[in-house]
Structures are given as C-alpha cells and as structure tokens.
Amino acid sequence: MKKETIDRIVKFSEDRDWDQFHSPANLAKSISIEASELLECFQWSDDEYDLEAVKEELADVIVYCQDMLQKLGLDEDEIVNAKMAKNEAKYPVEKANGRADKYDKL
C-alpha cells in the first residue's frame, strides 16, 4: 500500500482518538465483521453483485488490516512474503496445479 494511503488511515484514527479502541483483539473482530459484510455481497448470487458495495466492504477489511499492522508494528511485505514461502512449500506446483484440495490431500 502506498505510504500516502497508510498515512491517511493512521491520521483518520489519530484525529478521532480511536487508537485506544484498537487492541489486536478488537481489530481482529473488526476484520472478521467486515469480511462477513463483504461475503454478504455474494449471499444470494455468485455472479450478480453490487460492485460498489464490494469495493466499500473490501476497503473496510483492508483498512482494519492496516490498523492491525500498525498496532503490532508489522511490515506488510515481510509477513505476506513469509506466508507465501510457506504456501509454496505446502502447495508445490507439480501437486497442486489445477486442484483445490487442501495441502494434506494432495
């Protein structure tokens, strides 16, 4: 995410003194709640959905994730790349290509 966007998210919370509410547990709950609202956009159809509603809910998830990164002092690229390395090991191309099976079923 661009620094300008991250700074905007941080300033939004700082201006409202909301950091006091941003415990890791509260942020995890908020991420889950917003992810559920994102899922709700697809509740009755996989193909017919309101793209604007999807964008808003996805943005809410991203904002809360950024808040959690800030709160825990984590680097987005570092944790994503570490997880991708684990995923690549669990799902080698030669076994997982074209399959949706969980890694222990490959």
Q: Which domains does the chain have, with CATH numbers?
A: 1-74 (1.10.287.1080), 75-106 (no CATH)
What is the C-alpha separation between 7 and 105, in angstroms, rounded?
A: 43
How far does Cα 70 stand from its chain's mean position?
A: 14
- Could you report the per-residue pLDDT of 64-83, keeping only the tens digit for each? 999 999 999 999 999 999 99
Asked whether the predicted pLDDT for residue 102 surpasses 90, the reply is no
Average pLDDT for residues 3-9, to the nearest whole number? 97
Q: What are phi and psi of 48, to 5 degrees?
A: -110, 110
What is the C-alpha separation between 36 and 23, in angstroms, rounded?
A: 20
Average pLDDT for residues 86-104, to the nearest whole number? 91
pTM here is 0.90
Q: Which two tokens stand for residue 40?
A: 């709700």
Average pLDDT for residues 23-52, to the nearest whole number? 98
Q: Which two tokens stand for residue 54?
A: 């999807």
Asked whether the predicted pLDDT for residue 104 surpasses 90, the reply is no
Question: CA neighbours within 13 Å on the CB side: how many for 46?
Answer: 0
Q: What is the mean pLDDT of the chain?
A: 96
What is the amino acid identity at position 88? E
What is the C-alpha separation between 65 and 22, in angstroms, rounded?
A: 11
